[in-house]
A and B are shown apart, each in its own frame.
Chain A
């Protein structure tokens, strides 16, 4: 019996080949096998023959939406910066996308980074991706040489051991608390749809930090980011970070210093997270790629929680609505204002406290 992901892989290859052969798309963004256990390599396929390289497994942890704008550009006929846009429709690109990645494509569309009409979304329902770090932690000190994947278990092998572990127990934290694992955009369906999940509390980790005292939170923050080496992998792996010049690289004024000074590193992380406010889909890529194992995702997750609680928006769930920070409501909560008590003419009272309790269940978009 083939596993679910083997079936998905086969369908991806078949559909990719079909799309390329028909000429519907000029390129397909997917994954190829990696050279180490539990690794995969993002791959842009441009010919039907190369489609056999495409795979799908439980280690596809990088958000492929990150590659979409550049790949779309790469299939356009070459033109100079001042040349007009060519006549007629431009070539399309197909991309494999899970729930969060498809939401990032929505955000990219809202932000005019991507032309939705040029994208063919090969939607794959996500069963949660495995954290390589979690698996390695179980076998700490022993090198893992091979990992075989079943539907519900992983067989982990080293030079002198072979053990079967439960797959869900090593699924990434963000996947475990994910509510929308099925793609929100699907042009070509791959495999079976997966149903919405209702984790008991998607913000459980954030709340654990919120419940600490202010000093304990500061201690958490300082410690968590103390080992950051400022490599910016978290930034570059994120599909939201496409600014041609990042605030980190501004020299005049220099918003953040570039060395390992704890304050500079802290500011980098606060600002990076803040720039993702209302846009982050909690795809977990930033956390996954960090060579130092830093959990910077807690900051974006906190913002996601506030955006949901204050404005009722989850990134990428409302394709036709503006992004939360590019719009406003007259009666947005303003409890944080120093003089909020002062009578404010024509203001409806704020209904949602900004540190109020989380609703029991997450509001669905739309």
Chain B
């Protein structure tokens, strides 16, 4: 864990599907629902597009938290993308838990285009969880430390 100054704010990468959750985020903004500004949104076509590689790369690059959000089951713009995603995310979140990545680092949710308020709630909840965990260190690559740690000498 790195030093935590009092005004530390986590960086949370949010992969939002274009059709529901991204629109939900948009609605939250338009409707002026307050939510923490810790998230950095990556718009993806579908939650089914979000691969384990992307999630882990975000962690590796220093994201303190991840949120993946798509349409509710049954509402997928591509009919079944989120159903497939659900199976993959269930296994991934269990596997990350198994290797000791703190629960709460990687989060998943369903938010529809009409759920601006829910979107704000989800982001609020995730941000609180990540704040409680502190800045991420597990599976985070540190290049400045490499010289000293990795050299055999």
Residues of A in contact, count (CB < 8 Å): 56
- The residue that B107 contacts in the complex, of A266, A274, A338, with Cβ under 8 A, is A338
Give the distance to chain B from A274, nearest Cβ to Cβ, in Å. Answer: 5
Q: Is A271 among interface residues, defined by CB-CB distance under 8 A? A: yes
Name A193-214 residues within 8 Å CB distance of B: 206, 209-210, 214
Q: Is B87 in contact with A332, judged by CB distance below 8 angstroms?
A: yes
Residues of B within 8 A of A209 (CB): 98
- The residue that B150 contacts in the complex, of A261, A302, A338, with Cβ under 8 A, is A261
Q: Is B138 among interface residues, defined by CB-CB distance under 8 A? A: yes
Q: Is A336 in contact with B60, judged by CB distance below 8 angstroms?
A: no
Q: Is A217 in contact with B56, judged by CB distance below 8 angstroms?
A: no
Q: Is A311 in contact with B87, judged by CB distance below 8 angstroms?
A: yes
Q: Is B98 in contact with A339, judged by CB distance below 8 angstroms?
A: no
Contact with A along B50-88 (1 / 0, CB 8 A): 001100110010000001000011100000100110111
Residues of A within 8 A of B107 (CB): 338
In the complex, A346 Cα to B78 Cα: how many Å?
Answer: 18
Q: Is B109 among interface residues, defined by CB-CB distance under 8 A? A: yes
In the complex, A225 Cα to B99 Cα: how many Å?
Answer: 11
Q: Is B95 among interface residues, defined by CB-CB distance under 8 A? A: yes
In the complex, A354 Cα to B96 Cα: how many Å?
Answer: 13
Residues of A within 8 A of B57 (CB): 253, 255
Instruction: Name the segment of B2-10, B28-36, B37-45, B120-128 touching the other chain.
Output: B120-128
Q: Is A310 among interface residues, defined by CB-CB distance under 8 A? A: yes
Residues of B within 8 A of A134 (CB): none
In the complex, A281 Cα to B75 Cα: how many Å?
Answer: 34
Q: Is A217 in contact with B108, judged by CB distance below 8 angstroms?
A: no
Q: Is B146 in contact with A273, judged by CB distance below 8 angstroms?
A: no
Cβ-closest chain A residue relative to B140: A263
Q: Is A310 in contact with B90, judged by CB distance below 8 angstroms?
A: yes
Residues of B within 8 A of A344 (CB): 72-73, 110
Residues of A within 8 A of B98 (CB): 206, 209-210, 217, 299, 302
Residues of A within 8 A of B72 (CB): 344-345
Contact with B along A342-360 (1 / 0, CB 8 A): 1011110000001100000
Q: Is A306 in contact with B91, judged by CB distance below 8 angstroms?
A: yes
Number of A-B pairs, beta carbon distance below 8 Å: 140
Residues of B within 8 A of A168 (CB): none
Q: Is A302 in contact with B95, judged by CB distance below 8 angstroms?
A: yes
- The residue that B90 contacts in the complex, of A219, A333, A342, with Cβ under 8 A, is A333
Q: Is A339 in contact with B91, judged by CB distance below 8 angstroms?
A: no
**Size range of the interface on B?**
35 or more
Instruction: Name the segment of A40-48, A118-126, A283-291, A323-331 touching the other chain.
Output: A323-331
Cβ-closest chain A residue relative to B145: A261
Q: Is A32 among interface residues, defined by CB-CB distance under 8 A? A: no
Residue of A270, A303, A337 most packed against chain B (CB within 10 A): A337
Give the distance to chain B from A335, nearest Cβ to Cβ, in Å. Answer: 8
Contact with A along B91-111 (1 / 0, CB 8 A): 111111111111100011111
Q: Is A67 among interface residues, defined by CB-CB distance under 8 A? A: no
Q: Is A264 among interface residues, defined by CB-CB distance under 8 A? A: yes
Residues of B within 8 A of A220 (CB): 100
In the complex, A325 Cα to B50 Cα: how many Å?
Answer: 14
In the complex, A366 Cα to B87 Cα: how many Å?
Answer: 20
Cβ-closest chain A residue relative to B83: A328
Cβ-closest chain B residue relative to A219: B100
Q: Is A307 among interface residues, defined by CB-CB distance under 8 A? A: yes
Give the distance to chain B from A268, nearest Cβ to Cβ, in Å. Answer: 10
Q: Is B53 in contact with A218, judged by CB distance below 8 angstroms?
A: no
Q: Is B139 among interface residues, defined by CB-CB distance under 8 A? A: yes
Contact A218 B56, CB 8 Å, known A303-B91, A338-B107:
no
Give the distance to chain B from A230, nearest Cβ to Cβ, in Å. Answer: 13
Q: Is A218 in contact with B87, judged by CB distance below 8 angstroms?
A: no
Q: Is A259 among interface residues, defined by CB-CB distance under 8 A? A: yes
Binding site for A on B (CB under 8 A): 52-53, 56-57, 60, 67, 72-74, 80, 83-84, 86-103, 107-111, 118, 121-122, 125-126, 138-142, 146, 150
Since A339-B122, A345-B72 are in contact, a sample of 19 more A-B pairs with Cβ atoms closer than 8 Å, ordered by chain A residue number, is A210-B98, A214-B97, A217-B98, A260-B150, A263-B140, A263-B141, A266-B99, A267-B139, A270-B99, A306-B91, A310-B87, A324-B87, A325-B88, A329-B83, A330-B83, A334-B86, A338-B107, A339-B109, A339-B110
What are 28 contact pairs spanning A and B, CB under 8 A?
A: A206-B98, A210-B98, A217-B100, A253-B57, A255-B53, A260-B150, A261-B141, A263-B60, A263-B140, A266-B139, A267-B56, A274-B92, A303-B94, A306-B90, A306-B94, A306-B95, A325-B88, A329-B83, A332-B83, A332-B87, A333-B90, A336-B93, A336-B108, A338-B67, A338-B108, A338-B109, A339-B109, A355-B94
